[in-house]
Amino acid sequence: MRVELSGTHFPLETLGPGRRLGIWLQGCPLACAGCMSRHTWAPHGGEPVDVETLLDLWRAALADGAEGLTVSGGEPLDQPVALAELLRGAARLRSAHPRHGSAADGLPADLLVYTGYEESELDAVRHAALAHADAVVTGRFRIAEPTRLVWRGSANQRLAPRTALGRIRYAPHLGREADGPSVQIVVTPAGASTGPAGPPAVRLLGVPRRGELSHWERWLGERGLRLRERSWRP
Ligand code: SF4
């Protein structure tokens, strides 16, 4: 099974609890005003990869102590069959992994999915794709509804646990406000990303607070890194 991939990163520390593997799927038709990831909109603008390749990354991340997997985008539920296979395989690997239960809270690694759809918008195929997700963040990003809730970009978005593990792992975070860095800066050398080879890229991973993207753009500029394109600008 192939999936159109935007990128991956480990360790990701700004989209879910602990050190995580981040997988961003390519393609999103929802076009939220203010989206920071416009580069993920085009359905074929990423790189086709086998789900097994992503599971190899997950296997390696688990061996390195990953506390969870975050799948975002783009819109992961627009590739529902591949997403289902990815999550099914990720659940199988985390259960079999010898370091199962190595997270700081003693729980197994969890599987978190971001979607711009509301739960009520999911058809049977998309619903089935989330069968192995421990928690889901749902809803469009609405720029006019800022929030300080951790891992959510706007106040309408819901963090919804879906399994017993998800309910335990995410219970302390459902109403918690962000108290640490909300964005992680990753500089990817030319041709070194999991996505298509290209020029060096600066990736801002996470859910920036209002005004934070401009702040980081200035911060990078003061250090000699001038951005030629910005994924949050049309
Ligand atoms: S914020 Fe998310 S759901 Fe909205 S357009 Fe961007 S990638 Fe799509």
- Three-state secondary structure string covering 43-68: CCCCEEEEHHHHHHHHHHHHHCCCCE
Does any ligand 1 atom lie closer than 6 A to the CB of residue 55? no
Minimum CA distance residue for ligand 1 atom 6? 35
CA of 107 to the centre of ligand 1 (A): 30
Neighbours of 113 (CB within 10 A): 26
pLDDT at 231: 83
Length of the chain: 234
Structure tokens at 123: 């058809």
* Pocket perturbation via mutation, ligand 1, pick of 6, 140, 213 by most ligand atoms within 8 A of CB: 140
Does any ligand 1 atom lie closer than 6 A to the CB of residue 205? no
Minimum CA distance residue for ligand 1 atom 4? 32
Q: Residue 109: how many CA atoms within 13 Å on its side-chain side?
A: 29
Give the contacts of 32 (CB within 8 A, at least 6 positions apart). Answer: 116, 140, 141, 142, 143
pLDDT at 147: 96
Does any ligand 1 atom lie closer than 6 A to the CB of residue 16? no
Minimum CA distance residue for ligand 1 atom 7? 74
pLDDT at 102: 53
Architecture (CATH level 2) of domain 2-173: Alpha-Beta Barrel (3.20)
Does any ligand 1 atom lie closer than 6 A to the CB of residue 75? yes
Structure tokens at 70: 């975050």
CA of 72 to the centre of ligand 1 (A): 9
Spatial distance between the Cα atoms of 97 and 141, rounded to a whole number of angstroms:
35
Structure tokens at 87: 């999550």
* Pocket perturbation via mutation, ligand 1, pick of 15, 36, 137, 141 by most ligand atoms within 8 A of CB: 141
Sketch the domain layout of the chain as residue ranges: 2-173, 183-222
pLDDT at 115: 98
Residue 36 CA, closest ligand 1 atom number: 6
pLDDT at 188: 74
Give pLDDT < 70 ranges for the chain.
98-104, 190-199
pTM reported for the whole predicted model: 0.92
Give the contacts of 113 (CB within 8 A, at least 6 positions apart). Answer: 70, 71, 72, 76, 77, 83, 87, 130, 133, 135, 136, 137
Cα end-to-end span (Å), the chain: 32
